[in-house]
Structure 1
Amino acid sequence: MKKAIAAVLLAGTSALAWGQSSVALYGIVDTGIEYYNNAAKGGSFVGMPSLTGEVPSRFGLRGQEDLGGGYKAFFVLESGFAPNSGALNYGGRLFGRQANLGVTSDYGTLTLGRQMNMSMYVLFNADVIGPSIHSMASFDSYLPNARSDNAVGYLGKFHGVTVGGTYSFGRDAAGPAGPSATNCAGQIPGDAVACRQYTMMLAYDNAWGGAAASYDVMYGGPGASAPLVSSADTDKRAIVDAYVKFGATKVGGGWIRRNTAAAEHAQSDIFFLGAEYYVTPMFALDAQALRYILRDHSNSTLLVGRANYFISKRTTLYASLGYMMNSALAANAVAAAGTVTPGANQFGAMMGIQQRF
């Protein structure tokens, strides 16, 4: 009799756990019409962007199951695509944005698989423009695509303090097509360093603002895209940023230092400062100034302005303007995936619509 009662109770407990499971389909479709002058082959460009609008388009599946005792298992499968053609971005991978699973609890979140790394998390609050058509992606395409294949990640939040890190056994299996794709899959027997990557972050946030810092080290590997063509080559990024909030306004800024040690050494800095202001709950304005310096070579300055009108909780209309000022040897385009005549200044504009589901 006791065994029968125990079996009934166990079945009831299992049913309760299953009842707390969930799987959700979500996504963003974002596109519009963009314009920029002084294209690389002369003249101007008018058309639809392929990489991003205000944010990149994506769809995904997210699921979780309550395991009891404060623990939950989860998975994320997320695909990036180009609304103008329907093509898959991120090297043509079906789930190129994320493909991972893990366990979360009060002690933090442990994630396995392709995932966002700390170079992306560190910019979430201070970079008011984000991965937009006119953004810091013009200077470093890796930043809005900071993800790692074959990675183990941890992220924990404790009383306003966030600590996180990732370690990848082979950071990038795609390439060379797609933004920041490097064809460095790694996991090569006998070469333990090839295509390894680690990132780490420390942040603090409260009601009025916060600050964060991260460090990112990636190694090259045989057959990978230049300049990281061997295990001895490295690419390192250090990011420090902060933001403050007062009323309907948020101001954020920071500094990004990159050092590439390969056949030729290169060092660059990005300084950025921006503000976001909600004129009304339905209308917001964003602005940002960025300065890029490639040591002993060139420099560029980018000015960005953006307006958002929130028609509903799901639909947004927006307009973005950008102006890039290049030095004589610089060739940084004002728009993501755009082109520019070397040494030319460039104006860009986009009007778009975004819908979330």
Structure 2
Amino acid sequence: MLAAGLAHAQTNVTIYGIADAGVEFLTNAGGDDDNVFRMSSGNLSGSRIGFRGTEDIGGGLKGVFLLENGFDIDTGALGQNGRLFGRQAYVGLQGDFGAITLGRQQNALYDVIIKYDPMAFASRYSALSHDPLFTGRADNAIKYTGNFGPVIATAFYSFGRNADGEVPGSTKVSRNVGAGVAYASGPFGVGFAYDQFQGNTVATAGDSARRMAVGGSYEMGPVKGFVGYRWLKDELVAAGTPNVRSNMYWVGASWDASPALKLTGVVYHTDRRDSGADPTSLVLSADYALSKRTDVYLTVGHARNKSGSNLGLNGFGSSIIAGENQSGVIAGVRHRF
């Protein structure tokens, strides 16, 4: 009888991860128009190791958990500002209604819009160069995720997206809310997501950064096309600095040239509403699968700055001289386990 009771609740735990490293060459990456040649970690995918588990507790209900660590494979250092499980860390319940989870979790922009970036939010040379908050994460978050046939819905509420939150008497400090919905049927897919977070102090709690994004894709045989748009109003800027208002656009495509070779091209553009500093980046990538788990890749990019903008291929103000253009190339290898 005791053995039967222990066998009733079955727990499944999976260990998984990605190791991604390469070498990168960038132009105009120093104060004197210097170039840089370096090793880089997490180029197509952030290097990580994770633990995922489920337990069937009966009545169609499951207990679930996920612990996901991010790290730099070139140095072994922890990612996400030194967090042990900085990519995700949550526990919750899952059933026919969907899943409710609690902990550090991805925002709705990450969950929904990643499907509509041709570079799939690659750590380098992707939509993240124009807006890193596409892969935002929030501490102290309650999240709902539901799958209803062709529709996926998500919503979350964070009591404090970072260590500054959960302040007694001021529930707005570092609060983060968001929601998203996606629809996919046959070759067509479309998604919408919203994200808003408040300032990190009592004085700035009334100010917010708000983002809305929509993306779409259409597949025609081996070719898949992508379009996307993101709106931003950011009041959380330095005192005396105007609020940031910008629109971001992208269009691109991927082509399965063979069962092993995938080619991708995309153009990203940011339109600042308060200035003419409107940068554009172009990315071309080739990914070749050596096996189901290991692939090699080559990514080439060019960032064109205008009116003093400082977009680098790895982000605004990142390894770039303001007003200069930047070209770069990354060659690397990725292994999934």
CA deviations on 1:229-272 (whole Å, 9 max, x unpaired) are: 61011000000111111211211111001101244311011101
Does residue 82 of the first structure (1) align with residue 86 of the second (2)? Answer: no
Does residue 247 of the first structure (1) align with residue 240 of the second (2)? Answer: no
Matches within 5 A, 1:1-357: 8=1, 12-18=4-10, 21-41=11-31, 42-50=33-41, 52-132=42-122, 133-144=124-135, 146-173=136-163, 185-222=164-201, 230-262=204-236, 263=239, 264-297=242-275, 298-335=277-314, 338-357=318-337
TM-score, length basis structure 1 = 0.89
What's the RMSD between the two structures over aligned residues?
A: 1.5
Q: Distance in 2 between matches of 1:295 and 1:200?
A: 25
Work out the percentage of aligned pairs sharing the same amino acid. Answer: 34
Deviation of the 1:14 alpha carbon: 4.1
Deviation of the 1:195 alpha carbon: 0.5
Q: Is the 8 A contact 1:156 1:164 kept in 2?
A: yes
Report the structure number with the largest CA radius of gyration: 1
Q: Distance in 1 between matches of 2:254 and 2:91?
A: 34
- Could you tell me which residue of structure 2 aligns to residue 177 of structure 1? none
Q: Is the 8 A contact 1:321 1:349 kept in 2?
A: yes
Q: Is the 8 A contact 1:328 1:342 kept in 2?
A: no
| Structure 2 unaligned regions, length at least 5 | none
- Could you tell me which residue of structure 2 aligns to residue 5 of structure 1? none
Amino acid at match of 1:54: L
Q: Distance in 2 between matches of 1:187 and 1:56?
A: 29
Deviation of the 1:40 alpha carbon: 3.5
| Structure 1 unaligned regions, length at least 5 | 1-7, 174-184, 224-228
CA deviations on 1:15-57 (whole Å, 9 max, x unpaired) are: 1323xx111111000010001101132210100125x311110
Deviation of the 1:209 alpha carbon: 1.8
Q: Distance in 1 between matches of 2:251 and 2:60?
A: 40
Deviation of the 1:12 alpha carbon: 2.1
More displaced stretch, 284-293 vs 62-71: 62-71
Q: Distance in 2 between matches of 1:172 and 1:237?
A: 18
More displaced stretch, 66-75 vs 323-332: 66-75
More displaced stretch, 65-74 vs 280-289: 65-74
Q: Distance in 1 between matches of 2:57 and 2:220?
A: 40
Q: Is the 8 A contact 1:335 1:348 kept in 2?
A: no
SS at match of 2:153: strand
Deviation of the 1:11 alpha carbon: 5.3
Q: Is the 8 A contact 2:112 2:191 kept in 1?
A: yes
SS at match of 1:124: helix
Q: Is the 8 A contact 1:310 1:317 kept in 2?
A: yes
Deviation of the 1:13 alpha carbon: 5.0
Amino acid at match of 1:16: H
Amino acid at match of 2:95: S
Q: Distance in 1 between matches of 2:274 and 2:140?
A: 36
SS at match of 2:204: coil
Q: Distance in 2 between matches of 1:233 and 1:251?
A: 37
SS at match of 2:4: helix
SS at match of 2:104: strand
Matched residues, number:
329
Amino acid at match of 2:131: D
Q: Distance in 2 between matches of 1:12 and 1:106?
A: 26
